[in-house]
Chain A
Amino acid sequence: MSTFIDRAKCTCALGGALTTLLALPKAVPIVHSSGGCAGTLSNTYNLSAGYRGAGYCGGTMTPTSNIVERDIVFGGEERLEEQIINTLKIIDGDLYFVITGCQVEIIGDDAVGITRRFKDQKPAVLAASTPGFSGNSFVGYDVVLTTLVNEFIDQKSEKAPKTVNLLGIVPGQDVFFRGNIREITRLLSLVGIKANTFFGDGESIDKIKDYGDASLSIVFSENYGVTTAKAFEETHQIPYITADLPIGPTRTAAFLRKIGEQLVVEKEIIEAVIASESQYFFSYFERILDAYVDLDFQRYAIINADTAYAFSLTSFLADDLGWVPHLVVINDDIDDLKKKEYEHKFSQLGSEAKPKVVFELHAGQLIKHIRKSWPNNQNNKYYHSLSPAYLIGSSLEKDTAQKIGASFLSVAFPVTNRVVLDKGYTGFKGGLTLAEDLISELVSNR
Chain B
Amino acid sequence: MSKKLTDGLTYDYLSAESAPTREDRIETCFAYGGSGHNLKEGIGNGCAKHNRRKFAQSGGCQLNLALGILSSFQNMAIILHGSLGCGSSHLSRSGLKKAAGASRNKKGSMDTVWIETNLDETDVISGGIEKLREAILYAETEYRPDAIIIASGCVPGIIGDDIDALSNELENQVSAKIVPVHCAGFKSKYVATGYDSAYHGLLKKLVDPRNRIHTTITDEIADANEKYLNSKTVNIFNVGSNSYGDEVELARLLKALDLNPRVLPLYANIDEISRISEAALNVSICATHDDYLLGHLKERFGTEYIIDTLPIGIKNTNRWLREIAKFFKLENEVEKLIALENAQLEEALEPFKEVLQGKTLFVGGGETRAFTTGEFFQSLGMKIVGVKSHNFDIFAVPMVDDVDKDDFVVSVAPGQPAEELNLLNRLRPDLYIGHSGANVWVAKLGIPTAPLFGQAFNFMGYSGAFELARKAVKSLQNTSLSKKLATNVALPLRQEWYESNPFDNIKDLEDVKQV
Q: Does A134 contact B (CB under 8 A)?
A: yes
Stretch binding the partner chain, chosen from B89-97, B272-280, B335-343: B89-97
Given the complex of chains A and B, what is the CA–CA distance between A259 and B270 in angstroms? 59
Chain B residues closer than 8 Å to A364, beta-carbon distance: 113, 142-143
Nearest CB in chain A to that of B185: its residue: A34
Q: How far is the CB of B178 from chain A (nearest CB, A)?
A: 15
Q: How far is the CB of B318 from chain A (nearest CB, A)?
A: 34
Q: How far is the CB of B477 from chain A (nearest CB, A)?
A: 24
Chain B residues closer than 8 Å to A35, beta-carbon distance: 56, 58-61, 185, 189, 191, 414
Contact with B191, one of A36, A72, A107 (Cβ below 8 angstroms): A36
User: Across the interface, do B118 and A8 meet the contact criterion of CB distance under 8 Å?
Assistant: yes
Known A-B contacts A3-B134, A41-B88; the reply to A64 vs B57 at CB < 8 A is: yes
User: Across the interface, do A60 and B134 meet the contact criterion of CB distance under 8 Å?
Assistant: no
Given the complex of chains A and B, what is the CA–CA distance between A119 and B85 in angstroms? 30
Given the complex of chains A and B, what is the CA–CA distance between A57 and B185 in angstroms? 22
Chain A residues closer than 8 Å to B64, beta-carbon distance: 36, 40
Contact with B158, one of A103, A395, A398 (Cβ below 8 angstroms): A103
Given the complex of chains A and B, what is the CA–CA distance between A28 and B58 in angstroms? 13
Q: Does A93 contact B (CB under 8 A)?
A: yes
Given the complex of chains A and B, what is the CA–CA distance between A62 and B415 in angstroms? 10
User: Across the interface, do A56 and B492 meet the contact criterion of CB distance under 8 Å?
Assistant: yes
Nearest CB in chain B to that of A12: its residue: B85
User: Across the interface, do A42 and B58 meet the contact criterion of CB distance under 8 Å?
Assistant: yes
Q: How far is the CB of B236 from chain A (nearest CB, A)?
A: 28
Q: Does A260 contact B (CB under 8 A)?
A: no
Q: What mask results when residues 35 to 69 of chain B are scored 1 for a CB within 8 Å of chain A, else 0?
A: 00000000000000000011111111111100000
Number of A residues whose C-beta is below 8 Å from B? 79
Q: Does A239 contact B (CB under 8 A)?
A: no
Q: What mask results when residues 177 to 190 of chain B are scored 1 for a CB within 8 Å of chain A, else 0?
A: 00000000111110
User: Across the interface, do B113 and A43 meet the contact criterion of CB distance under 8 Å?
Assistant: no
Number of B residues whose C-beta is below 8 Å from A? 76
User: Across the interface, do B118 and A2 meet the contact criterion of CB distance under 8 Å?
Assistant: yes
Q: Does A89 contact B (CB under 8 A)?
A: yes
Contact with A399, one of B90, B98, B186 (Cβ below 8 angstroms): B98
Q: Does A325 contact B (CB under 8 A)?
A: no
User: Across the interface, do A9 and B57 meet the contact criterion of CB distance under 8 Å?
Assistant: no
- Near B by CB (< 8 A), chain A positions 77-132 give 82-83, 86-87, 89-93, 101-103, 106-107, 131-132
User: Across the interface, do A90 and B494 meet the contact criterion of CB distance under 8 Å?
Assistant: yes
The number of inter-chain residue pairs (CB within 8 angstroms) is 245
Stretch binding the partner chain, chosen from A46-54, A198-206, A274-282, A373-381: A46-54
Q: What mask results when residues 117 to 133 of chain B are scored 1 for a CB within 8 Å of chain A, else 0?
A: 11111111000000110
Q: How far is the CB of B71 from chain A (nearest CB, A)?
A: 12
Q: Does A249 contact B (CB under 8 A)?
A: no
Given the complex of chains A and B, what is the CA–CA distance between A212 and B474 in angstroms? 52
Given the complex of chains A and B, what is the CA–CA distance between A394 and B98 in angstroms? 16
Please give the residue numbers on chain A whose beta carbons come within 8 Å of chain B beta carbons, in ascending order. 1-15, 28, 31, 34-44, 46-48, 53-54, 56-57, 59-69, 71-72, 82-83, 86-87, 89-93, 101-103, 106-107, 131-137, 364, 394-396, 398-399, 413-414, 416-417
Q: List 23 A-B residue pairs with CB atoms under 8 Å apart, sorted by A's residue number.
A: A2-B118, A4-B132, A5-B115, A11-B84, A15-B88, A35-B60, A39-B60, A39-B437, A40-B86, A44-B92, A59-B437, A60-B59, A66-B56, A72-B158, A89-B497, A102-B83, A102-B158, A103-B158, A132-B83, A364-B143, A394-B94, A396-B94, A416-B94
A43-B437, A89-B494 known; 17 new pairs, CB 8 Å cut-off, are A3-B118, A4-B117, A10-B84, A11-B85, A35-B189, A36-B59, A57-B492, A60-B57, A69-B187, A91-B493, A102-B158, A132-B119, A133-B83, A133-B121, A134-B121, A414-B92, A416-B95
> What are the 3 closest A-B residue pairs judged by CB atoms, nearest first?
A36-B61, A132-B83, A12-B85
